[in-house]
Structure 1
Amino acid sequence: MNSKSIVFAAALAGAAFQNANAEERLAIDPAERAKIEAVLQDYLLENPEIVMYAIRELQRRQTVAQMLPSIEMYRSFLEEDKDAPVLGNPNGDVTIVEFFDYRCGYCRRHFPDVMRLVEEDGNIRLLPKQFPVLDRPEEKAISRLAAQAALAANKQGKFEEFHTALMSSGVSVTEDSIYKTAASVGLDVTRLKADMADKLIDKRIGNTLAIGQDIGFEGTPGYIIGKDVVLGAEGYDRLKQAVSRAREKLADASQ
């Protein structure tokens, strides 16, 4: 257990001790109770950052709890859409639904961590959902254009290649770079542009935007992993923990 976990455990123990009913607290020898209270007080005074950590974790759990009813309402649409692009293992036991924007710097920097987990685990089904929230009314909708291109690339069977190239590119996402990336992975750009004009593609993106916003995602990236939600680029370890918890819950449900 790392130091943060030890401190967090101490804080939780302190909260549990303080919230115990009077009968339980009286059952503890007064001298022992005084020692426990002193140790907890000293620990928290020496590590005051744990208070903020605990508050942030509480806020995160409250946010997830608020989002879960909407997630359950939309889960079949998010996880069972047969026309949606799939990365990783199509038959994986754990599904990660990822809301992202191709122009989001955090999404792009987090991409290696996401794919590392998918590849190392081998049993994760990753569903990237186009969530182009960075466009502004006074600007050309480049995020949406990139989303349209990605779904059009899927019609040519090259979503993964296009997605990986665009997410891994070190250059800004522009209209020109979208088509250059498409050509670099072997897409027929003329056909791609024609498919991008498909109203069904635009409708799919609009539906995903509406659903993501209704769930409560305000920015990118955002991940739904079973009953858990990861908000932001929290790194490989946080995603791995969420996958492990989802797998544990699946095992419990099957017993």
Structure 2
Amino acid sequence: MDFDFEIILAIAFLVTLIAWVYDRVIYAPKRKEALSQLPSSAVEAMNKEAKERLGGAPKWLLEVKSYFVIIAVIFGVRSFLVEPFQIPSGSMLPTLEIGDFILVNKLDYGVRLPVLNTELIPTTQPERGDVVVFKYPKQPSVNYIKRLIGLPGDVISYHNKTLMINGKIISDEFLADLMVSKNPSGEPVKVFKEDLLGVQHEIYESYRRSPLDGDWIVPEGHYFVMGDNRDNSADSRAWGFVPAANLKGRAFYVWLHWNEFFSLPNFKNNGLIE
């Protein structure tokens, strides 16, 4: 079952905030008055929990409000600065492997209201070649990661494994044959270095015919994305364009790799995402 961790975190923030405010308004004055009536020696001997109970606040309320600061920090950093993700599939191979833990810059595409993702303060615009995290248009509770290929107004063509943008063929340089690839299926692939109008990165192409050929015109307020694992990626060729409002941020760093629960995490892929 899919769940939106962002919504869960927002609810936790609101619940702990309400508990913190309620305690400050209702019980903090009573606590202060009770402490003022005790000898200073007795006050010094009391621990923090004992002092908080003096105001008559229920134990559950004190427990809930005690998490407010830590949840507020996590919620603020995750919502407005940097958000962590784990790569669940091989659609971005060879750039990102299954099990890579990445960091996403939340400021690059505007300061956005948590959960609603409404832009509050514009910053920079997405650029061709960015590796972007976004809410999947057909199921917004699910996050996808792909490479941004087409900007609003671009004409995109993809036929016989040849990518064209606005009539210009995107060049690629053959690097290697991988008879045993990192694809979940182990499918043999060819590795190319693609020059996406100035942004160079590696891609996989399989030996079989691509089922996702076509031509597209990117509408205003939308973007066209593709996986670097070109023949093993469900992307804009299959389900359409990404609305600007669905963008969450730009993936910029791999900080950990942990493929399986019973394996040891490692740092073999650490580095900036190209």
Q: TM-score, normalised by structure 1?
A: 0.29
Q: Which has the higher helix share?
A: 1
Of the two, which has the highest radius of gyration?
A: 2
Q: Which has the higher strand share?
A: 2
